[in-house]
Homo-oligomer: A and B are copies of this chain.
Amino acid sequence: MTNPANTPHSSDSVILLIHCPDRRGLIAAVTEFITKNQGNIIYLDQYVDPIKNIFFMRIEWELNNFLIPREKIGEYFDTLLAQRFNMKWKLYFSQQIPRMAIFVSKLPHCLYDVLSRWKSGEFRVEIPLIISNHQALRPVAEQFGIDFHYFPITKENKREQEEKELHLLEKHRIDFIVLARYMQILTDEFVQVYPNKIINIHHSFLPAFPGARPYHSAYERGVKVIGATSHYVTAELDQGPIIEQDVVRVSHTDTVDDFIRKGRDLEKIVLSRAIWWHLQRKTLVYENKTIVFT
């Protein structure tokens, strides 16, 4: 649904995410490209992985007065710079609002949190639909006026249902997916359609306690701190590139229910930070790590 709180982005700018083998002169070359064409740089962050020797950059500049027309920027950049330096790159225009789908099961807290942020204009995003393998959260979707699609999953129908989901996502031109405590494992086939575009929240401090019932395992182990992790989903369960993690203290007096209660707040915060950075185009995945420009 389009959110009336989504005011047009104040500036008309373009964001460029780059990575390539490091070599001398990369920053100078990129900034020259922008400056010579009258672009005003409003954000620049770069990072060199000192082991893999890879250069990463996020740069944003204003488009008013920029000499290269909007629809030609990619082509020019590719020809003049990317091919020469062997760069992988992506362009995002600030005025284009991303489109997000939410997958949920039965737990409402992350869904409420994401929708509240969207509704109050904190997340500049469109949310055309919510998908679930249960009916439980349909009322929440309705409360916020968003279409709710029910796809019950069994071992037998999983691929079939996923195909229908993919069809629906494509139809709504979904850019990325948020698993807001979605309690189903997506198949590799599904994941490959949205590489580094599915954000999950796992209710533990990965790599501790992957898989099911992490709060119960944490309780059994007697930890003094519990955590939550948001990561991009890959083929291997709970092994994808981590976007954000945080923790909260627990003590011997906390029961598993207390772990779950305290964990809910963490999950909400950690997931929402990941979504925020993704929406700002501040994340860049390389191999199994997420660079988060801040």
Contacts and interface: CB of A to CB of B under 8 A. Distances in A.
A46 interface: yes
A116 B40 CA distance: 43
Interface in A184-232: 205-209, 221-225, 227
Contact of A208 (B48, B108, B208, B252): B208
- For chain A, which range describes its interface: under 10, 10 to 19, 20 to 34, or 35 or more residues? 35 or more
Contacts of A291: 252
A206 B226 CA distance: 11
A206 B223 contact: yes
Nearest to A40: B24
A244 interface: yes
B252 A224 contact: no
A127 to B, nearest CB: 15
Interface string A34-64: 1100101110111110100000000000000
Interface in A156-177: none
A147 interface: no
Contact of A265 (B31, B245, B269, B289): B269
A223 B252 contact: no
A222 B285 CA distance: 11
Given A41-B27, A261-B122, A242 B221 contact: yes
Interface string A96-131: 000000000000110011001101101000000000
A81 to B, nearest CB: 13
Contacts of A109: 116-117, 120, 122
A279 B253 CA distance: 18
A83 interface: no
A8 B207 CA distance: 37
